[in-house]
Structures are given as structure tokens and as C-alpha cells.
Structure 1
Amino acid sequence: MKTALDLVAAAKARVSEIPVSEAEAAIREADVLLDVREGDEFANGHLPGAIHASRGMLEFKLSSTPALTARDLKVVLYCKTSGRAALAAAAMQDMGYLNVKSIAGGFDAWVAAGKPVVKPEMPSFG
């Protein structure tokens, strides 16, 4: 019986994972940057320009959003540490997407490298 870690390892063996040091260039070249974490994770901070599409709803969002249906889109994905992004990239490959990359180490590696993060603004009641 396979575990979640087995599935992630199999996905990572067949998807393109890029190091954080190459992520900014890949994002600039990409058509879309997808954050596949949960909504609360996204709301607490995300990469600039990221679109939220939680891993659990990814295939449905891709299929129902006209701007995301072209199989030649250049896509960069990330999650917290890279497991969900690898699974998401593998699912996108299975759907026929041709140019999908995930960020090795995910959001945590991005933050550890001192890269910019967008955080929601709290309203001022002063």
C-alpha cells in the first residue's frame, strides 16, 4: 500500500522542480503562478502575483476557468514545502499541460530565502 509520501516521491520523479534560486526568473517567464495551498494559508501570505487554486479543487478550477484551459500555458506552482505542488504538477501533466514547474521547498523555502511575500492588509480603525 502506498503512502502520501510514496505518491509525492513518484510525482517528484516525473515533474520539473526548480530551486528557489531560479524561481523568480521562472515566474517572470510564466503565464500563471498557482498557489495550491489551502485558502487560509493563501490568506496568511503568498507570493506576489499568485492565483489561489487549492490542491483539492485544482482540476476543477483549471477545467472551469477559460484563462487556464490552454494546455501550452507556462505554469509555476507552489505549496508549503513542495509535496502538494508536485502532486498538482503531476495531475496537470495528466490533464495534458505541457509546461508545468513546481518550486522546490515551496513557500517555506521562498520565505527562508528572504523573497517577497504579499500579506493581506488589516483595516485601520484608528
Structure 2
Amino acid sequence: MSEQPIGIDELLERVRLGLDRVTPQEAYDASEAGGLLVDIRYAALRERDGLIPGSLVVERNELEWRLDPQGSHRAPEATSHDLRVVVICNEGYASSLAAASLRQLGLRHATDLVGGFQAWRAAGLPVVV
């Protein structure tokens, strides 16, 4: 018996039930405490809006390979499955799906930023243009 197809809205809702999503201030605090902010926005958005200082930029299509602590293509920052990872997209949608994927790899503290980069910027947190 196969599962019934679901729409993206329901998928997103289901995925978010397993995440402890964070506010911009909580994301900032996590980075100050040694957590890793991972910016998955595409280049045009980063060029237009700027970057969060200290964040790791990883294109979405490379995310799992770069963040897997056991992977041969991992980023130097991907040191442990216990690492607190906050995934950031533009508005907080794609990042939820990305964080859920990282959790499937065993990164049990992976989550995402509610409202994405736009919420970070609106909160007045640091941005490098």
C-alpha cells in the first residue's frame, strides 16, 4: 500500500513539527555560543541583500555533502553530529526542508530561522553588504 501524495504546505507543516525553529535573536545567540549559521540563499540574493557575518555560505544543492561530519566533501566547520546548525534561506521556507534533511543525516540539533534572512535583517542584526 503506497502513501497518498501530499502538497508542499502539508509537507512543510509535518517537517516543522520535528524542528525547534529559532527566532533571529536565538539564531544570533546560537552563533555566539559556537553554533553554525548556514546561509543557503542563492548568489543573487546574497549579492542584493548582503551576508550574515560569520555564516557559512553553502548552496542548497551542496548542503548535505558539506555538512555531513562523516562526508569526504564536508566543510571544515562540520565537526560533529552534535553541532548546533541553523539553516537560513531568504524567508524561512526552503530552510525548514533543508534542516529536516540534515536531521536525517544525524545532525540532531539542526534547525532553521523563522522568517529567514529577511527576518534577521528586519530584527536589526548584523549584515555585511
Establish whether TM, by shorter chain, passes 0.5.
yes
Equivalent of residue 34 in structure 1, options 9, 24, 38: 38
Relative to structure 2, which stretch is displaced further, 68-77 or 109-118?
Answer: 68-77
Q: Map of 1:57-68 to 2, 5 A cutoff? A: 57-62=62-67, 63=71, 64-65=73-74, 67=76, 68=78
CA RMSD of aligned residues (A): 1.7
In the alignment, does 2:104 pair up with 1:115?
Answer: no
Q: What SS does the aligned partner of 2:119 have?
A: helix
Matched residue, 1:105: 115
Q: CA deviation at 1:21?
A: 3.1
Q: TM-score, normalised by structure 1?
A: 0.82
Q: Map of 1:16-95 to 2, 5 A cutoff? A: 16-44=20-48, 45-62=50-67, 63=71, 64-65=73-74, 67=76, 68=78, 70-95=80-105
Give the residue type in structure 2 aligned to 1:65.
R
Q: CA deviation at 1:56?
A: 2.2
* Deviation string, structure 1 residues 20-54 (Cα, Å, up to 9, x no partner): 23222112123421001112222331211111112
Identical counterparts, % of pairs: 30
Residues 1:25 and 1:31: Cα distance change in structure 2 (over 3 Å): closer
Residues 1:21 and 1:99: Cα distance change in structure 2 (over 3 Å): same
Relative to structure 2, which stretch is displaced further, 87-96 or 9-18?
Answer: 9-18
Number of aligned residue pairs: give it.
Answer: 119
Q: TM-score, normalised by structure 2?
A: 0.81
In the alignment, does 2:106 pair up with 1:96?
Answer: yes
Any stretches of 5+ residues in structure 1 without a counterpart?
120-126
Q: What SS does the aligned partner of 1:33 have?
A: strand
Judging by fraction of residues, say which structure has more strand: 1
Q: What SS does the aligned partner of 1:18 have?
A: coil
Supply the distance in 1 between the matched residues of 2:81 and 2:41 (Cα, whole angstroms): 22
Contact kept, 8 Å, 1:29 with 1:74, in 2: the verdict is no
